[in-house]
Amino acid sequence: MQPFHLAFPVTSLAKARAFYGDLLGCSEGRSSDEWVDFNFYGHQIVAHLSPSEAGHHNTSAVDGDNVPVRHFGLVMEMGQWEVLAEKLKQAGTKFVIEPHIRFKGQVGEQATMFFLDPCGNAVEFKAFANPASLFAK
């Protein structure tokens, strides 16, 4: 599988480094005074300094939750997701959507959690008990 690349706006590179680097454990790659690369679990994300574009503005209803429309994240293994959820709780993370199971008993049942980075960008981490159901209808 090839890694994806995502560029996104931030209000502060220092805040991005603290969040993605220190809290989430993403190693840093190349950088400049305007952007910084992170290894996001094997994928390349690039935080670009652009304060006016950062943050999320709209939500969409999904299984009873108001999901931030603009968001990115990662599909993890269930055990990995559980460890991260606990780490984020211990760090005092304010969740937009608390860690829980969505679509219980349905095709696509998944663990999910949403939170904002310190620049207001929405991030989702999810996991499937049955990884084969990622694209199931």
The yes-or-no verdict on residue 125 having pLDDT over 90 is: yes
CB proximity list for 50: less than 8 A, separation 6 or greater: 9, 10
For residues 109 and 128, give the distance between their C-alpha atoms in angstroms, rounded to a whole number: 7
Model pTM score: 0.91
Q: Exposure pattern of 52-66 as b/e (b: 16+ CB <10 Å)?
A: eebbbeebeeeeebe
In the chain, CATH 3.10.180.10 sits at 5-51, 59-133
Percentage, residues of the chain above pLDDT 90: 83
- Class in CATH terms, 59-133: alpha beta
> What fold does the segment set 5-51 form as a domain?
2,3-Dihydroxybiphenyl 1,2-Dioxygenase; domain 1 (3.10.180)
12, 54 Cβ separation under 8 angstroms: no
CA 92 to mean position of chain CA atoms: 16
Type and span of the H or E element at 90: helix 78-90
The yes-or-no verdict on residue 130 having pLDDT over 90 is: no
- In angstroms and rounded to an integer, the radius of gyration of the C-alpha atoms of the chain is 15
The yes-or-no verdict on residue 80 having pLDDT over 90 is: yes
The yes-or-no verdict on residue 108 having pLDDT over 90 is: no
For residues 20 and 39, give the distance between their C-alpha atoms in angstroms, rounded to a whole number: 9
